[in-house]
A and B are shown apart, each in its own frame.
Chain A
Amino acid sequence: MPRMSRDDLVMRSGIVVLAAWMLVSVALPLWALLSKSFQDRQQEFVGLANYIRYFSTPALFASVGNSFFVAIVATAIVLPLAFVYAYALTRSCVKGRGVFQALALIPILAPSLLPAISLIYLFGNQGLLKPLLFGGSIYGPSGIIIAQVFYCFPHAMMILVAALAMADARLYEAADALGASKPRIFFTVTLPGAKYGLVSAGFVIFTLVMTDFGIAKVIGGRYNVLATDIYKQVIGQQNFEMGAVVGMVLLAPAIVAFTADRIVQRRQVALLSARAVPLVPKPSPARDWTLFVYCLVIGGLIFGVLAVAAWGSLIKFWPYNLSLTLGNYAFDNFDTNGWGSYWNSLHLAAWTAVLGTAIIFTGAYLIEKTRGFAVGRVLAQLLAMLPLAVPGLVLGLGYIFFFNARGNPLGFLYATLAILVVNSIAHFYTVSHLTATTALKQLDAEFESVSASLKVSVLRTFWRVTVPVCLPSILDIAIYMFVNAMTTVSAVIFLYSTDTKLASIAVVNMDESGFTAVAAAMAMMIVGTSAAVKLAQLGLTYLLAGRLQAWRQR
Chain B
Amino acid sequence: MALSSPLPSGAAPYLRIAGVTKLFGSFSALKEISLAINAGEFVCFLGPSGCGKTTLLRAIAGLDVQTTGRIEQAGRDISRLPPSERDFGIVFQSYALFPNLTVVDNVGYGLRSRGMKRAAIAARVGELLQLVGMPESGAKYPAQLSGGQQQRVALARALATSPGLLLLDEPLSALDARVRVRLRHEIRGLQRRLGVTTVMVTHDQEEALTMADRIVVMNHGTVEQIGTPSEIYRKPATAFVADFVGTMNFLTAVHAGSGQVRFAGQSFSCAADGLAADTPIYLCIRPEDVAVRNVGASTVNVVRVEIASLDFLGSFCRATLRPAGAGSNGEEIVADFSINLMRDLGLGAGHSLSVALPPDRLRVYPRG
Contact = CB atoms under 8 A, between A and B. Distances in A.
Contacts of A7: 82, 84
B63 interface: yes
B160 to A, nearest CB: 8
B141 A453 contact: no
Q: Is the interface of B mostly helix, strand, loop or mixed?
A: loop
A465 B101 contact: yes
A465 B100 contact: yes
A549 interface: yes
Interface stretch (B106-114, B188-196, B198-206, B225-233): B106-114
Contacts of B92: 444, 446, 449-450
Interface in B194-240: none
Interface string B274-294: 000000000000000000000
A238 B83 CA distance: 59
B122 to A, nearest CB: 17
Nearest to B113: A456
A454 interface: yes
Interface string A457-491: 10011001100110000000000000000000000
B80 interface: yes
Most buried by B among A454, A460, A465: A454
B98 A464 contact: yes
Nearest to A452: B83
B141 A550 contact: yes
Contacts of A2: 62, 65, 80-82
Interface string B113-132: 11000000000000000000
Sorting the interface of chain B by its residue count into under 10, 10 to 19, 20 to 34 or 35 or more gives 35 or more
Contacts of A550: 141
Contact of B110 (A447, A456, A469): A456
A1 to B, nearest CB: 7
Interface string B155-178: 001101101000000000000000
A551 B110 contact: no
Interface string A76-106: 0000000000000000000000000000000
A553 interface: yes
Contacts of B144: 553-554
Contacts of A379: none
A460 B163 CA distance: 21
Given A449-B61, A465-B101, A551 B141 contact: yes
Contact of B84 (A452, A465, A553): A452
A182 to B, nearest CB: 40
A266 interface: no
Contacts of A447: 96, 98
A2 B63 CA distance: 11
A551 B161 contact: no
Nearest to A468: B100
A477 B355 CA distance: 74
B348 interface: no
B81 A450 contact: no
Nearest to A455: B84
Contacts of B109: 451, 454, 456
26 contacts: A2-B80, A3-B80, A5-B83, A5-B84, A7-B82, A7-B84, A444-B92, A449-B90, A450-B90, A450-B92, A450-B96, A453-B61, A453-B158, A454-B110, A455-B110, A456-B109, A456-B113, A460-B113, A464-B98, A464-B101, A469-B98, A469-B100, A551-B142, A552-B99, A553-B143, A554-B144
Interface of A: 1-8, 444-447, 449-457, 460-461, 464-465, 468-469, 549-554
Given A5-B84, A454-B161, A468-B100, 13 more contacts: A3-B80, A7-B82, A446-B94, A453-B83, A453-B84, A454-B89, A454-B110, A454-B113, A456-B113, A469-B98, A469-B100, A551-B99, A551-B102
